[in-house]
């Protein structure tokens, strides 16, 4: 067997096994800015060290730290959520309130391919789908608390339907 074939086989084997990624350690924020999405009708505070990327689809709005997805804003229906390995199908970890609306918290391994991330999602029903704010971070108490506390719905449409 050639060296190239061995490398390809090893890569396919490792990809099939998957790779578990630990939670991301984040620094203490030095400053905050408001993230606002008028199309989705939400706004919340974001720490200065997170870089935002909008994928324009169910992959959602991604806030990255050092090139890694740290916090994600998702808006999906159940089918898309299951396809992407999100909270759908996982047991909930209790009730939450997000932007003044009742929802559920999920703690699970996000597994949409070769990489598995420990994820905590705060999810509310919204516009006939589910809106979730996902954290893949560690030692983030103050950051998470402020992001969740500042979350609000800005449009006429409200969560729950």
Q: What is the CATH number of the domain that holds 124?
A: 3.40.1000.10
Q: Could you tell me what percent of the chain has a pLDDT over 90?
A: 52
138 is a domain residue: yes
- Please give the DSSP secondary-structure letter assigned to residue 2: -
User: How many separate domains does the chain show?
Assistant: 1
Distance from C-alpha of 117 to C-alpha of 149, rounded to nearest angstrom: 24
Q: Is 74 a member of any domain?
A: yes
Is 15 part of a structural domain of the chain? Answer: no
The percentage of residues in the chain with a pLDDT greater than 70, rounded to a whole number, is 76
**DSSP assigned state of 29:** P
Band (pLDDT 50/70/90 cuts) for residue 157 is low
Domain for residue 147, yes or no? yes
Maximum CA extent, the chain: 64
Task: Return the exposure string of 103-121: e unless at least 16 CB atoms fall within 10 Å of the residue's CB, then b.
Answer: bbbbebebeeeeebbbbbb
Has residue 9 been placed in a domain? no
Q: In whole angstroms, what separates CA 146 from the centre of its chain?
A: 16
pLDDT tens digits, one per residue of 14-63: 444 344 455 678 888 999 999 999 988 999 999 999 999 887 665 589 99
Q: Does residue 14 lie within any of the structural domains?
A: no
153 closest CA partner among 62, 45, 50, 44:
44
Domain region containing 25: 20-153
- The confidence score (pLDDT) of residue 5 equals 59
Whole-number Å distance between alpha carbons of 36 and 137: 21
Mean pLDDT over each residue of the chain, to the nearest integer: 82
158 domain-assigned: no
Mean pLDDT along residues 105-126: 82
Which pTM does this prediction carry?
Answer: 0.81
Distance CA 33, CA 9 (A): 46
Residue at 5 is within a domain: no
Helix or strand holding residue 122 (H, E): strand 115-126
């Amino acid at each position: 067997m050639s060296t190239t074939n061995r490398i390809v086989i090893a890569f396919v084997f490792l990809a099939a096994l998957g790779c578990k990624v630990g939670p991301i350690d984040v620094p203490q924020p030095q400053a905050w800015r408001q993230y606002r999405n008028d199309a989705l009708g939400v706004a919340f505070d974001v720490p200065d060290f997170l870089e935002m990327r909008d994928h324009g689809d169910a992959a959602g709005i991604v806030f990255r730290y050092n090139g890694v997805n740290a916090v994600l804003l998702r808006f999906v229906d159940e089918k898309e959520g299951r396809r992407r390995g999100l909270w759908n199908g996982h047991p909930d970890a209790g009730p939450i309130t997000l932007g003044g609306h009742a929802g559920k918290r999920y703690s699970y391994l996000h597994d949409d391919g070769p990489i598995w991330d420990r994820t905590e999602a705060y999810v509310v029903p919204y516009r006939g789908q589910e809106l979730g704010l996902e954290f893949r971070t560690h030692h983030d108490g103050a950051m998470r608390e402020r992001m969740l506390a500042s979350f609000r719905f800005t449009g006429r449409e409200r969560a729950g339907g």
